[in-house]
């Protein structure tokens, strides 16, 4: 088995070499599949946490539009480098975001802050069939363990899902991982909702 560092390099390189039109097309398919699944589930969510895609990550703009149409408050993360943590702020339009830490689009910190999220959509470099994920290695999403969230949803291109990842006890598990080809629900939490 490859180490976490080797997996990050391998899968980041593969994702970052995808053509822009392919990323956009696959992102559209993945988001449509996620929206259809979430709407058909009985899970009730009001507050939604999304991420602003970076370096060919699966986009979230269709999710933003769909949830805004439903009247859901949408929150995006802002990196607190000194605390190595994420704080989520409500965004009504992308004009309320600017380039921040690591070049990521982040919400202005003058916006309302989330106290909890019913649905948290998380990015990742690679996921496994148990719902574990590897990000860039900073542990920002793993430190959200104590932050109240309902369902954790990972978005990935299908090539980013492997059978098993090395993981530790503090690694956060996604309840659901959606790719263009499949929906993986390792905990069945999302199925029971």
pLDDT in tens, 115-166: 999 999 999 999 999 999 988 777 777 777 667 678 999 999 999 999 999 8
For the chain, what is the mean pLDDT? 88
Share of the chain above pLDDT 70, in %: 92
**Rg (alpha carbons) of the chain, rounded to whole number:** 16
Instruction: Tell me the mean pLDDT in the region 76-90.
Output: 84
Q: Confidence band (pLDDT; 50, 70, 90) for 188?
A: low
Answer for the pair 125, 7: CB distance below 8 angstroms, yes or no: yes
* Per-residue confidence (pLDDT) for residue 104, from 0 to 100: 85
pTM of the model: 0.90
The two tokens of residue 121 are 């959509």
- On the 0-12 / 13-18 / 19+ scale of CB atoms within 10 A, 78 is buried
Helices (H), the chain: 4-16, 20-40, 61-69, 189-192
Query: What is the CATH number that goes with domain 4-192?
Result: 3.40.50.10420
């Amino acid at each position: 088995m490859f180490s976490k560092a080797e997996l990050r390099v391998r899968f980041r390189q593969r994702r970052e070499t995808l053509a822009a039109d392919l990323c956009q097309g696959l992102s559209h398919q993945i988001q449509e599949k996620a929206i259809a699944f979430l709407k058909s589930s009985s899970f009730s969510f009001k507050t939604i946490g999304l991420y602003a895609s970076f370096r060919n990550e699966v986009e979230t703009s269709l999710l933003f539009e769909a949830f805004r149409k439903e009247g859901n408050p949408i929150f995006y993360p802002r990196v607190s480098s000194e605390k190595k943590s994420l704080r989520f702020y409500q965004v009504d339009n992308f004009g309320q975001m600017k380039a921040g830490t690591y070049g990521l689009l982040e919400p202005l910190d003058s916006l309302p802050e989330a106290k909890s999220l019913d649905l948290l959509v998380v990015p990742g470099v690679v996921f496994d069939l148990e719902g574990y994920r590897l990000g860039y290695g900073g542990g920002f999403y793993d430190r959200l363990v104590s932050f109240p969230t309902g369902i954790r949803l990972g978005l990935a291109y299908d090539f980013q899902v492997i059978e098993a990842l090395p993981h530790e006890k503090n690694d956060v598990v996604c309840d659901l991982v959606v790719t263009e080809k499949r929906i993986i629900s390792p905990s069945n939490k999302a199925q029971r909702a």
